[in-house]
Every structure is written in structure tokens, then in C-alpha cells.
Structure 1
Amino acid sequence: MELLLVIAIVLGVLAYVHYNKIVSAYNRVQRAWSDVLTYQRQKIKVLDVLEPQVAGFQDYESQLLEKIVGLRSAITSLPSVADGEALKSVDRGTKALLGGLNLAFEAYPELKSAELMNNLMREVAEQEGNVSGAITLFNLNVEHFNNSIQLFPGSLVNRLTLKKSLVTPFSDSQASAGFEYKPNF
């Protein structure tokens, strides 16, 4: 009888520990996703300043203004719940915007003289670097969380109590297509 009580206590403690690990990992994923959203929304502030500047050069590059407006819309529509898939359109929009700015500066050298435009372009690139770092942390937290609900005994604890689903990490299919090496998994 005492042995059963000890086994029950040990199992209860194990379940308690794994329950807390899963909850903690899930909360880290949500916090990391919030960081991604924060950096994406900081880009909106830069875009708000950049938009009227580009509008002034609309004769030179009308598509650039559309890209800025589209990127702002994509950022504001990101879900508050962690979702790496939803981030793909924002990532593509940022790359298109940066490419458009570079093309505009190369095609129209007189734009290079505008110090404000140069500073804003640097700020957009810096914000993109911040987003990249936040995505890396997000994906690490997603991996940790997904492992915690897939590996035994966490999988059992999750199935019986929390019923959390796997979180989709962010992946960039365009970037990975540029690599010759393909892992064999």
C-alpha cells in the first residue's frame, strides 16, 4: 500500500513538472510571437514617415507607394496568436519594399541626395534585422514547445490536461530554394 502511495506521488510530481514545462514553453512562444509583432509594428512607424516622402516622388516610382501601403496592411493583419505561416506575406512584402527602394535609388540618383530618404531606408533595414532576430527566437521557442508536447511524458500530460496543438514555425521557402544543399530528412 505504501509503495502504491509513493508511486502515485512520484507520478503526480512528474505530471505536475511536465504540465508546468508545457505551460512555460507555450508562454515563451506567445511572448516571442509578441516580439515579432512588436518589431513588425515598429516598421509601420517608419513606413508612416516614408509614405509621404515617396508620395512626393510619385512621378519617379508609383509602385513603391503601393508596396508601402500593402506592407502596412499585412503587418496590421498579423494574428495575435503565434503563427509562422501568417508571417510569410509580411516577409515577402518587406523584401519587395526594400528591393523597390534600392531600385528607385539606383534609377534616380537625385533621390540619394535626400538625407531623410536614406535615413528612412536604413531604419527599414534595421527594423527588418530586428524582425529576423525575433523570428529566430520565435522558431527556437516553437521548437522547444513542440518538443515538450510531442515527447513522452509531456505528450501524455498534454493529451490528458492541456490539449495544446503544435505551433507552426516560420519558414522562408524562397530563401531555402536558393540553397543547393538539401538535408535528407
Structure 2
Amino acid sequence: MILVIFFLVIMMIVMIVYNGIIRAENMAKRGWSDIITYERNRLEVIPKLESIVKEYKQYEQSLLTNITKIRQQIASLDSDNIDIKMLKDIQNNISKIDPKIILQAENYPELVSSQLYKQLMHDWKDTQENVTAAISAYNQTVQVFNDKIMEFPGVLINRALLQRNKLDVFEDSKVSNNFLSYKPNFHS
């Protein structure tokens, strides 16, 4: 009887830890999906930004080219295929055009006074803040997952039953300069 109770207690512990690992992994995957969602929100702002820049096209062809490239990169992101390298490339390209947008706007006072431009810059800033927050949340969920598979008794259960690998957090060195080259290593 005592042996049966002991076995049931062990099974309950294994089940709770196992489910905790799965839950933590799913939260990390959801965090990754949130990053993709916020990046895709840029797709609403980018065409409008392209339109404004096209009005000044003869002067700002390189800026327009970079904005178009970012739009295409974001459109190609796939929530089912985690591609941190692509995400880092997008963030890197965005960090390159952010100052250019402001600088070019200063060259065209009528652009700066445009209500559409002001709204776009507000939307652009909000989107960047959302991406940054999503990255932070993602990193927190990755840390929780990694703790669960590396601490006792999770490490034993993971090795015996799940065999999940530690996930990589996104490390932000220059405000996500190379954001797109990062790729978490989710394994189902």
C-alpha cells in the first residue's frame, strides 16, 4: 500500500513537472508569435510611408528602396517558421531608416507639417515600442522555459521524456541592431 502511494506521488510530480515544461515552451512559442504579429503591424504603416516618400521620390530614392525592402521582409515572415535571422535583418534595416525618415522630413517642412506624416511617425514609434515589449516578454518566457528544463526535477524529466533543448534569448546589443539574424531553436 505504501509503495502504491509512493508510486502515485512520484507520478503526480512527474506529470506536474512535465506539463509545466510543455506550458513554458508553449508560452515561449506564443511570445515568438507576438513578435511576428507586431512586426506585421508595420505593414499597415509602411505603404503610407512609401506613399509620402514617393511624393519626394526624385530626392529620396534610397529611402523609398529601403522602406520597400522592409515591407517585403516583414511580409515574408512566417509564424510557423521561426527565422530570427530575418527578424534581425528587419530590425537592422529599420534602425538604418529611422534617422533618415526624420532627417528627410526636416528637409521638407511641408512634409513635417502634414497631419498624415505626424500620424505615421506616431504609429511607427508605437509599433517599435510594441516590438520591443514583445521581445522582452519573449525573453522572459524563454527564461522560464530554460529554468524548467535545467532545474531539478525538470532536468531529469526533460532528459527522460521530452528531450527539449535550451532556447536562445534575443540579446539586444544596439537596440536590436541585428535583430533578424537571431533565431530561437524551437524543437517540437
Give me the TM-score of the superposition, normalised by structure 2: 0.84
Q: CA deviation at 1:19?
A: 0.5
Question: Cα RMSD (Å) of the superposition?
Answer: 2.1
Shift of 1:85: 5.3
Map of 1:7-22 to 2, 5 A cutoff? 7-22=6-21
TM-aligned CA distance change 1:46 to 1:134, over 3 Å: same
- TM-score, structure 1 length as denominator? 0.85
What's the offset of the Cα at 1:169? 1.3
In the TM superposition, what are the counterparts of 1:76-115 in structure 2 within 5 Å? 76-80=75-79, 81=81, 86-115=86-115
Please tell me whether the aligned partners of residues 19 and 158 of structure 1 are also in contact (alpha carbons under 8 angstroms). Answer: yes
Return 10-19 or 81-90, whichever deviates more.
Answer: 81-90
Residue 4 of structure 1: how far off its partner (Å): 3.0
Q: Which runs of 5+ in 1 are unaligned?
A: 178-185
How far 1:164 sits from its partner (Å)?
Answer: 1.7
Cα distance between partner residues in 1 of 2:66 and 2:88 = 15
Q: CA deviation at 1:171?
A: 1.4
Equivalenced residues, count: 176
State the identity %: 35
Whether the aligned pair in 1 keeps the contact of 2:158 and 2:164 (CA below 8 Å) is: yes
C-alpha separation in 1, matches of 2:176 and 2:31: 23
Partner residue in 2 for 1:183: none
- Residue 106 of structure 1 and its aligned partner are, at CA, apart by 2.1
* CA displacement at 1:108 relative to structure 2: 2.8
Deviation at 1:84, TM superposition (A): 5.1
Which structure 2 segments of 5+ residues have no match?
A: 178-188
